[in-house]
Structure 1
Amino acid sequence: MKRLTLTFCFAAIIFAACNNESKTPEETTKADTPAAATAEKAAEPYTMPDSATMMKNWTAYMTPGDMHKMMASWNGNWTGEITMWESPDAPPQKSVGKAVNKMIMGGRYQSATYTGNMMGMPFEGQSTLAYDNNSKQFISTWIDNMGTGMMVLKGSWDPGSKSMTLTGKMVDPISGTNRETDIREVFKIIDDKTQTMEMYCPGMDGKEFKTMEIKYTRSK
């Protein structure tokens, strides 16, 4: 508890410093303009909570809850039957991959590693799934050996359909530029041994279509 208290106090000092950093002459001049004054007035003032409230809030933020328990139930080895489409009218391309899920950092995040083949080449991917207690959102990051960037998606869980819908953007690697494209993923729990993931993105006509579907089956 003593170490935790010291951590909270240290973070409070850093946070206060970040909110009260000295301004350069240029920043002071900008802050004195009417537009800046209006924006500052419109911004909601921040009041630093007392230390007891800070500890309570931070403890709530860092404590795994029901969503993390649900994520932990997905731990283990999975086999994925992958179907991909290059365009809405293109023939499907099928392959098989493996996934291994495990909770990390005291059950706060789920790390998953993926292996398989894509376009005739060995494929490796890694994702980290988080549930943010403050924003009440799921956040997913993805990296693989087919690129050098990172995809970040955010979304929510629908208990009625037992599905998670995540949205975000990813760099379009074939454009040769920093062009980004919209991505939507729908992750659904069928039963304890079966899950599906569908990925959607815009086609050449700008209309969204399903570009990937993976059926996961829990391995014995």
Structure 2
Amino acid sequence: MKKMILPLFALAALASCQEEKKPAEAPVVAAANTENKTEAPAPAKAMPDQATMEKNWKDYMTPGTEHGLLAEAKGDWVGEMKMWQAPGAPPDSSTIQQENRMLLGGRYQQSIAKGNVMTMPFEGISTVGFDNHKKKYVSTWIDNMGTGVMNMEGSWDATTKTINFTGKMINPATKAEEDVRETFTILDKDHHLMTMYGTGPDGKEFKTMQIHYTRKK
């Protein structure tokens, strides 16, 4: 409060001096000041007490059962992949090798996939975590077939054992940002199924990719 009072006092003193020197111009100056006056900033929100802030931070940083679900997929996997370039088109098939590991004290899962896709060497890296604040799974994906980062968020469906992700990605062919949807289903501890959906030329959703993962023994 003291910091606010001092500038206001100085402004009042300056206005007083102007009135003494040019009394006739005072109303004009006042009008100009009124027009240029900016709105006062919104009052700051009350901060939680120290104990509450410490608890909030601890809750945010502590891995839970959702992170444990990701940790169950640690290890080496083989992925049988199919990709569809257009609705109704025959799929391109390939096989990828994938290594899953947990990072930063079990807070994030990192997956590194390698193989050949459409006769080209392919490498991609994903990170998946569970945001304790959002109560959602969050993921990123990068690969050597683009220069952007795909971000998605998803919720866990315990009935189907599926994480349902949604997000946006750039379609390199059209340079347009499009909606993307992914389902990641845990069939059992050694078999997972990932299915991705994109937007077709007619604006409707269609299946663009499917990967059936099998854990290496």
Query: How does the TM-score come out when normalised to structure 1?
Result: 0.79
Q: 1:102 to 1:32 in 2, by over 3 A?
A: same
Cα distance in 1, alignment partners of residues 213 and 189 from structure 2: 11
Structure 2 residue corresponding to 1:206, chosen from 181, 185, 203: 203
Distance in 2 of aligned mates of 1:187 and 1:117: 22
Which structure 1 segments of 5+ residues have no match? 1-28
Runs of 4+ aligned residues of structure 1 deviating over 4 Å after TM superposition are none
Structure 1 residue aligned with 2:216, among 204, 209, 219? 219
- Correspondence list, 1:151-170, <5 A: 151-170=150-169
- Counterpart of 2:39, as a letter, is D
- Residue deviations 1:46-81 (CA, integer Å, cap 9, x gap): 321111111111001100000011110011100000
Give distance in 2, aligned partners of 1:30 and 1:137: 43
- Please list, as runs of the form range in 1=range in 2, the aligned pairs for 1:128-167 lying within 5 A after superposition: 128-167=127-166
Aligned residue pairs, count: 182
- Alignment-mate amino acid for residue 86 of structure 1: Q
Query: Aligned pair 1:183/2:198, yes or no?
Result: no
Q: Whose Rg is larger?
A: 2
2:39 corresponds, among 7, 12, 32, to: 32
Mapping for residues 1-220 of structure 1, pairs under 5 Å: 32=39, 46-175=45-174, 177=175, 179-220=176-217
Identity over aligned pairs, percent = 51
Normalising by structure 2, report the TM-score. 0.80
Deviation, structure 1 residue 88: 1.4
How many angstroms apart in 2 are the aligned matches of 1:213 and 1:183?
14
Gaps of 5+ in 2: 1-35
**Structure 2 vs 1, CA of residues 30 and 141 (structure 1 numbering), >3 Å: closer, same or farther?**
farther
Let me know the Cα RMSD of the aligned residues: 1.7
Q: 1:62 corresponds to which letter in structure 2?
A: M
Structure-1 separation of matches of 2:102 and 2:76: 13
- Are residues 193 and 47 of structure 1, via their aligned partners in 2, closer, same or farther at CA, if it must alter by over 3 Å? same
Residues 92 and 58 (structure 1), Cα distance of their counterparts in 2 relative to 1, 3 Å cut: same
